[in-house]
Amino acid sequence: MSSVATLPDRLGEYTEQMVAETGGDTRDGLVERLSLHALALGAVLLLVLPVVVAAIVSTKPTGIVTSVADLVPGRSGAANYRRALVGLGFWRFMLNSFVMAAIIVVGKLLVAALAALAIVYYRLPYKNLVFLVVLFTLMLPVPVRFVPLYRLVVELGWNNSFLAITVPYLASATTVFILRQHFRSIPSSLVETAKLDGVGPLRFLVSVLVPMSRGIIVGVSVIMFVYAWNQYLWPLVIIDTEGQQVAQVGLSLLRGQASSGEIAWSMVMTGSILTLLPPLALLVAFRKPLLETFTLQQR
Amino acid sequence: MSQRTVDGPQLSRRSALRASAGALTAAGLAGCSALGGSGDVQPISDDALTIWHAMGGGNGEVLQGLVDDFQSETGVNANLVFQDSYEGVLTKTLGALDSGEVPDLAQIDSLFAQQVLATGSVEPVENLLSDSFPVDDFLPNVTSFFSLDGSLQSMPFNNSNAIMYYNRTAFEEAGLDPDSPPTTLAEVRDYSETLVDEGVTEAGITWPNHVWFIEHFYSVDGQTLVDAKNGHGGQPSTLHADTETAREVYEWWRGMAADGLYSNPGIEAWGEATSTFLTGNAAMLLTSTSFVTGARNGAEENGFEVDNAFYPTVDGDRTGPVIGGASWFVPSDLPDDRREEIGQFLEFMASPSAQITWHKGTGYYPIRRAAIDQLESEGWFEQNPMYRTTFDQLTQAEETTATKRMLVGPARQVQTTIQDTSVELFDGQVDIDEGLAAMKTSVEEEFDRYYS
Amino acid sequence: MATREIFENRLQAGLLLFPTMVVSAVFLYYPAIRAVGLSFFQASFGRDDAFVALDNYARLFTSGTYLDSVFVSVLFTAVVVAGVMAFGLCVTFLIHEVELGKSAYLIAAIWPYALPPAVAGLVFLFLFHPTLGLVTSYIEALGVTVDWFTNGPQAFVVVALAAVWKQIGYNVIFMTAAMNNVPDSLTEAANLDGVGRFQRLMRVYVPVMSPTLVFLVVINTIYGFFGTFPMVDLMTKGGPAGATNILIYDLWRTAFQFYDFGFASAKSVVLFVVVGALMYVQFRLSDRYAYYGG
């Protein structure tokens, strides 16, 4: 409905608003805003540059980069990535990481959803105690228990198997916590309706809770995927053979080979970029649900 | 846990958990104790020999070639599994021997031999060789280390010493005679100063900070590193850190580092050291004789001429280097058909033809006299002087307690203590006497704890 | 909340909780408890476990390496926490103040959350490598010799840098949410009073964000102690001479390089107590200093 006639007025209003926001002379305001941008840009560049350099180096044949002038993307990109994936077998590391992360994500979601369902929607004596018992496991990170855990897993015969790098992760205090918080934010009116309809717990989970939790489920899945994908210490300890090793530890093998001059440092960067891509892709694709889930976790 | 009687299912769940926890604890404690029972041992793979090794890069490829030959010759399947480093193989092997699920062969470094023998879970390889196998044909310097009471415990395979490689082209550029490389620490220093002053290289010499090199400085000087005949005559209790040898070595090292003549690649940084040498940052390199082939190829790629010379002595007197490298250990209590196949593998790897292929492809010694004779008749050593030098260093060595590599239980701890203190010493962070005394005390504690 | 509890069948509840409880019991609680038990023994490969009561704990006090490691860890974590919070806060604030391109800046600031610590370690190893590093040549142009394979403090700095860099993303996520929750009225009031930007940040925003900031201090502390293992393993392996030998690395080395399982268990128990105590202290402080009011 705006017409050209009101344009000067709107422009005037806009300028006034800008002046008010910057608290004074528009010229000063402009300088201040530009310097803000400069600082922000600088900060963000510091955060981004190292990996950009790594990406560029990953396309070079040797990885000898002595000055910024050398930072032109090289020609060996395709050759390097092909060599890393096939020649050095990195595809297997990535596949192992994928399988491990996928099992952990699906498994944890299921296990935690069931647990949260019980904690929130069941009348249970000592429910809070149970919840605390689960929560307390946050105080027991891998380093505190990995010596006996190693022995236990070896006794179970699970060393070098996917069981070893998935099952111990399936009980997740943070996931149960997040789902519980989220379930508690679902209006009780919906819950009561379900009760009146005589819905059983699993139907309730599938037809009521899940549709209401799509964002959270996606967010939590990304968090769990990133966590699982980035695991280093436990796979280092429990997996001996290259065939079962995950990408993170595979990187240290690459590093060893580069140090001894068997492969060029650029290959290490290639491996690094490969290892970085899946979680990054998920982060970028699902940043909105992810951010929502994070803020939920805080409360 | 509470004693409420109201919670039917919950209580039973809790006691079920407690019961299973109890069972696991029992199983766990049982698993804790030393493995004594037979029949507990199981090979990892049913249809192939599992062989754990630490040969990376080019050496790994040669090994794979040998294994392929073995498979086609005998029809026995064998899987090589690379474990990244000798430390990696050791950890996995100790874990495997503990759990009962074992590889058929493990390549264990000589530094860790004592630890593996101490488990009591390995079988002397002599028992696996056929009667007609010529055990006497092995080189005595090599096999004496791996034998106990005259019986061969593990099969030597890739054995080496440390040696000095140098860049002939750099020497020439600096005005040094490439045909007379330095032979003592003092000469190394002089040459380094010239090289650096002339601006030919950034540093004179480099080597990985690994205990093996300290062992060499000692052995070349005729000094044992630990007591009890370097561990071969009983349980060692102390480190000989308070000797002239030690003082001279560390003072020299400290001076070199302070004046920028020594380039530090890092602790156990084999690859970094060779890279530093091959890229021309240092003109001299101390590393294994197994690097000969790699040095030749690397020098060609980087456009310089490489040569090698005996490990520098502390003050001119030369006794000899210590044996290094690894041997094949075999877990005990494996089924008989397995043992037969393993015996075939061991014999194959020790055959003159395999030894020759292995030597030519890497630089590791052929340990069979028959192999050496054949190489000599071929004129191999004449045409490839670097291989000759490594060999001469071995054969010209005196056989004394000092040249028998130390046999210690807590090998990794001793190794780490010496390596870490070395950094403090050569970086000038502590006084020489103080640092050496601290090293000695720490190692004594470690021996005390291990052997008591 | 009683109206939510629509189900009463305890057997069903038990079954639902069963997987979580079993995994927690078997893989989390049981090993943790056994670690305590094992700490009273001397245990290694191929030898029987020997009961040594409190010997392992006594060893901790006399072990120079361990005490150094405690010092290094505390210093390292303090530096990492301070660095991450300070830089994170600045970045968050800048993004908050900027009007154009907020979401682009935000993504660029958050992305390190997805970065595997191992990759962070490798990239920094490469960039700062004494002989091959790109950044090295510029630093040396300033007259500083880059020699962190030998020089302890330098190694500490490089690893700390990698650790801080990687963790900023996670912090920015939470700080942004918290900063966005600051009521506009406060911002307007500050502007009307002529309060400068920096003052506004420190005097107004930080107090209002304090619950989140306390939460982040806890998370960053745990990260500093545990999450930085890959970086140490890939860059310095605890060296040179223990300069980056943080407790978790020392623990791993005692267990899986020295096979000294009893001693390692004693170290894990101590680590657990230390981290637990830190977290407790931080929660208590948060009760006192966090400003929850609106």
Domains of chain B in sequence order:
42-159+325-378 (3.40.190.10), 162-321+399-451 (3.40.190.10)
Phi, psi of B284 (to 5 degrees): -130, 150
CB–CB of A129/C14 below 8 Å? no
Chain A hits for B56, CB-CB cut-off 8 Å, are 256-257, 260, 262
A76 in a structural domain: no
User: How distant, in Å, are the alpha carbons of A265, B201, B250, B347 from that of B427?
Assistant: 28, 21, 10, 47
Give the residue-averaged pLDDT of B298-304. Answer: 89
pLDDT tens digits for range C101-133: 788 888 888 888 889 999 999 899 888 888 778
Residue C43 C-alpha, separation from nearest chain B C-alpha, in angstroms:
8
Residues from chain C that touch B9, judged by Cβ atoms under 8 A, are 10-11, 14
Instruction: Look at residue A65 and give its three-state secondary structure.
Output: coil
Q: Is A159 in the B-facing interface, judged by CB distances under 8 Å?
A: yes
Are both A278 and A244 inside the same structural domain? Answer: yes
Q: Are residues A38 and A126 in the same domain?
A: no
User: C40, C45, C236: best mutation site toward chain B, by most B Cβ within 10 Å?
Assistant: C45
Cβ within 8 Å, pair C165-A120: no
Q: What is the ipTM of this complex?
A: 0.82
Nearest beta carbon to residue A257 from set B4, B56, B81: B56
Q: Which residue has the higher pLDDT, A111 or A299?
A: A111
* CA–CA distance, B111 with B444 (Å, rounded to integer): 18
End position of a domain, from candidates A39, A57, A75:
A57
Is the predicted pLDDT of residue C22 greater than 60, yes or no? yes
* Residues A16 and A113 grouped into a single domain: no
Is there a single domain that holds both residue A33 and residue A117? no
pLDDT band at A16 (very low <50, low <70, confident <90, very high): low
Position A64 in a domain:
no
User: Do residue A35 and residue A114 come from a single domain?
Assistant: no
- How far C112 CA lies from chain B's nearest CA (Å)? 29
Smallest Cα distance from B398 to chain A, Å: 32
Give the span between the Cα atoms of C147 and B262, in whole angstroms. 12
Residue B256's CB is within 10 A of a number of other CB atoms, namely 21
Three-class SS of residue B273? helix
Q: Does C90 touch chain A (CB under 8 A)?
A: yes
In tens, the pLDDT along B246-266 reads 999 999 999 999 998 998 888
* Dihedral sign (CA C172, C178, C184, C189): negative
Residue contact A124–C13, C-beta within 8 A? yes
Residues of C in contact with A133 (CB under 8 A): 21, 24
Distance CA A279, CA A226 (A): 6
Q: Residue A62: inside a domain, yes or no?
A: no
* pLDDT at residue B105, as a whole number: 94
Report which listed range, A150-154, A263-267, B322-326, B348-352, is most confident. B348-352
In a domain, A75, yes or no: no
Do the Cβ atoms of B10 and C14 come within 8 Å? yes
Domain presence at residue A256: yes
**Residues forming beta bridges with residue C44, ordered by sequence position:** C47
Mean per-residue pLDDT, C173-196 = 84
A100, pLDDT greater than 60: yes
Min Cα–Cα distance to chain B from A155, Å: 7
Residue C3 has pLDDT above 80, yes or no: no
Q: How far is CA A148 from CA A215, A233, B221, C31, in A?
A: 38, 15, 45, 5
Neighbours of A289 (CB within 10 A): 18
Give yes or no for C131 touching B (CB within 8 A): yes
Residue A217 and residue A87 share a domain: yes
Q: Does C286 touch chain B if contact means CB atoms closer than 8 Å? A: no
Instruction: Read off the pLDDT of residues C34-75 as tens digits, 9 standing for 90 and up.
Output: 889 988 988 887 677 888 888 889 989 888 889 999 999 999
Q: Which of A152, A157, A262 sits opposite B24 (nearest CB)?
A: A152
Phi then psi for residue B177, to 5 deg, are -85, 115
Question: Who wins on pLDDT, A124 or C231?
Answer: C231
CA distance C174 to chain A (A): 7
Strands B42-43 and B101-102: parallel
Q: 3-state DSSP call for residue B237?
A: coil
Residue B10 has pLDDT above 70, yes or no: no
The per-residue pLDDT of chain A, averaged, comes to 81
Highest mean pLDDT among B233-247, C131-145, C211-225: B233-247
Q: Who contacts B413 (Cβ-Cβ below 8 Å, separation ≥6)?
A: B446, B450, C258, C260
CATH number at residue A140: 1.10.3720.10
Helix then strand then coil, in percent of chain B rounded to 5, is: 55, 15, 30
- The whole-angstrom separation of Cα C187 and Cα A23 is 12
pLDDT of residue B450 exceeding 90: no
C248-251, Cβ contacts within 8 angstroms, sequence gap of 24 or more = C248/A143, C248/A233, C248/C73, C249/C69, C250/C65, C250/C66, C250/C69, C251/A143
Q: Å from B294 to nearest chain A CA?
A: 10
Rg (CA), chain B: 25
| pLDDT value of residue B28 | 35
**Which residues on C lie below 8 Å from A295 (Cβ)?**
174, 177
What are the pLDDT digits (tens) for B174-192? 999 999 999 999 999 999 9
B122 bridge partner residues: B331
Q: Categorize the per-residue pLDDT at A298 as very low, low, confident or very high, splitting at 50, 70 and 90.
A: low
Angle at B20 between CA B15 and CA B25, to 5 degrees: 125
- Is the alpha carbon torsion for A176, A181, A182, A187 positive or negative? positive
Q: Give me the residue from A48, A167, A251 closest to C122, CB to CB.
A: A251
Residue of A nearest to C22 (CA): A171
- Any chain C CB within 8 A of the CB of A57? yes
**C45–B420: do the CB atoms touch at under 8 Å?**
no
Nearest CA in chain A to B269: A259
Q: Which of C12, C108, C119 sits opposite A272 (nearest CB)?
A: C119
A273 touches C113 (CB < 8 A): no
Q: C235 at the A interface (CB within 8 A)?
A: no
Domain match, A52 and A116 both: no
**Residue A67: inside a domain, yes or no?**
no
In the block, residue with structure tokens 């809790």: B14
pLDDT of residue A14: 56
Say whether both A10 and A142 belong to one domain: no
Residue-range definition of the domain harbouring residue A22: 4-57
Which residue ranges form the domains of chain C, and what is each CATH number?
A: 55-289 (1.10.3720.10)
pTM score of the predicted model = 0.83
Q: How many CA atoms lie within 13 A of C254 on its CB side?
A: 30
Question: Which 3-state string (H, E, C) describes chain C?
Answer: CHHHCCECCHHHHHHHHHHHHHHHHHHHHHHHHHHHHHCCEEEECCEEEEECCCHHHHHHHHCHHHHHHHHHHHHHHHHHHHHHHHHHHHHHHHHHHCCCCHHHHHHHHHHHHHCCHHHHHHHHHHHCCCCCCHHHHHHHHCCCCCCCCCCHHHHHHHHHHHHHHHHHHHHHHHHHHHHHCCCHHHHHHHHHCCCCHHHHHHHHHHHHHHHHHHHHHHHHHHHHHHHCHHHHHHHCCCCCCCCCCCHHHHHHHHHHCCCCHHHHHHHHHHHHHHHHHHHHHHHHHHHHHCCCCC
Please check whether residues A22 and A145 belong to one and the same domain: no
Number of neighbours of residue A277 by Cβ within 10 angstroms? 12
Q: Nearest CA to B220 among B393, B367, B422, B388?
A: B393
Q: How many angstroms separate the CA atoms of C113 and C115, rounded? A: 5
Mark yes or no for CB contact A236/C233 under 8 Å. yes
Quick one: DSSP state of residue A126? Answer: T
Q: Please compute the mean of the pLDDT values over residues B20-30 and round it to a whole number.
A: 33
Task: State the pLDDT confidence band at B440, using cuts at 50, 70 and 90.
Answer: very high
Q: How far apart are CA A59 and CA A54, in angstroms?
A: 9
Query: In chain C, which residue's Cα lies nearest the Cα of A286?
Result: C107
Give the C-alpha separation, C27 to A107, whole Å.
Answer: 15
How far apart CA A135 and CA A132 sit, in angstroms, is: 5
Cβ-nearest to C43 among B32, B91, B95: B32
User: Please, what is the average pLDDT of chain C?
Assistant: 85
Confirm if C139 and C146 have CB atoms less than 8 A apart: yes
Q: What is the pLDDT of residues C219-244, one digit of tens each?
A: 898 899 888 999 998 888 887 888 89
How distant is the alpha carbon of residue A259 from its chain centre? 30
CB-based contact (8 Å) between C11 and chain B?
A: yes
How far apart CA B66 and CA A103 sit, in angstroms, is 39
Q: Which residue has the tokens 């608003």?
A: A17
Residue B364's nearest CA partner among B192, B199, B160, B176 is B160
A122 at the B interface (CB within 8 A)?
no
Closest A-chain CA to B51: A241
pLDDT of residue A75: 77
Take residue A66 and report the two structure tokens written for it.
């002595």
B38 has a pLDDT exceeding 50: no
Are C131 and B281 in contact (CB < 8 Å)?
yes
The predicted model gives B310-322 an average pLDDT of 91
Are residues A105 and A212 located together in one domain of the fold?
yes
Asked if A188 and C165 come within 8 Å (Cβ–Cβ), the reply is no
Report CB contact under 8 Å: B34, C47: yes
Kindly state whether residue A63 falls inside one of the protein's structural domains.
no
Instruction: State both tokens at A254.
Output: 């690459």
CA terminus-to-terminus distance, chain C: 25
Mutate to test the interface with B, among A62, A145, A237, A240 (most CBs of B within 10 A): A240
CA C145/CA A296 separation, integer angstroms: 47
**Pairing verdict, β B306-309 and C41-44:** unpaired
- Mean pLDDT across the stretch C142-160? 88
Cβ–Cβ gap A134/C248 under 8 Å: no
Contacts of B63 (CB under 8 A, 6+ apart): B53, B55, B80, B358
- Give the helix/strand (H/E) hosting B250: helix B244-258
Which residues in chain B (292-321) have CB-CB distances under 8 A to chain A?
298
Per-residue pLDDT, A18 = 56
- Domain edge (last residue) among A40, A57, A74: A57
pLDDT the model gives residue B9: 33
Distance of residue A235 Cα from the nearest chain B Cα, in angstroms: 13
Alpha-carbon torsion, ordered B197, B198, B201, B204, to 10 deg:
-50
Q: Minimal Cα–Cα distance from C152 to chain B, Å?
A: 10
What's the pLDDT at B26? 32
* A296 pLDDT above the threshold of 70: no
Report, as an integer, the average pLDDT of B287-301: 88
User: Is the Cβ pair C257, B412 closer than 8 Å?
Assistant: yes
Of A126, A152, A253, the CB nearest to B28: A152
Q: How many CB pairs under 8 A join B and C?
A: 96
Could you tell me if A146 and A197 lie in one domain?
yes
For residue C166, the chain A residue with the least C-alpha distance is A47
Number of domains into which chain A is organized: 2
Interface test with C, best of B210, B416, B443, B448 (most C CBs within 10 A): B416
Assigned domain for A127 exists: yes
Our CA-based measurement puts residue C260 at a distance from the nearest CA of chain B, in whole angstroms, of 10
Count, residues in chain C = 294
- Phi first, then psi, for residue A43 (nearest 5°) are -60, -45
- What pLDDT is stored for residue B17 in this prediction? 30
The alpha carbon of residue B213 is apart from the nearest alpha carbon of chain C, in Å, by 17
Tens of pLDDT, residues A224-249: 999 899 988 888 888 877 778 888 88
Average pLDDT of the residues of chain B = 84
CB contact under 8 A, C10 and B95: no
For residue C100, count CB atoms less than 10 angstroms from its CB and return exposed for 0-12, middle for 13-18, buried for 19 or more: exposed
Q: d(Cα C253, Cα C255) in Å, to the nearest integer?
A: 5
Note whether A243 and A109 are same-domain residues: yes
Q: Which residues of B touch A125 (CB under 8 A)?
A: 4, 6-7, 10
Decide which of B12 and A152 is more confident. Answer: A152
- Residue, of B193 and C289, whose pLDDT is higher: B193
Q: What's the CA gap between B282 and B272, in Å, rounded?
A: 11
How far is the alpha carbon of B58 from chain C, nearest alpha carbon, in Å? 23
Q: Which of A126, A151, A259 minimises the CB distance to B269?
A: A259
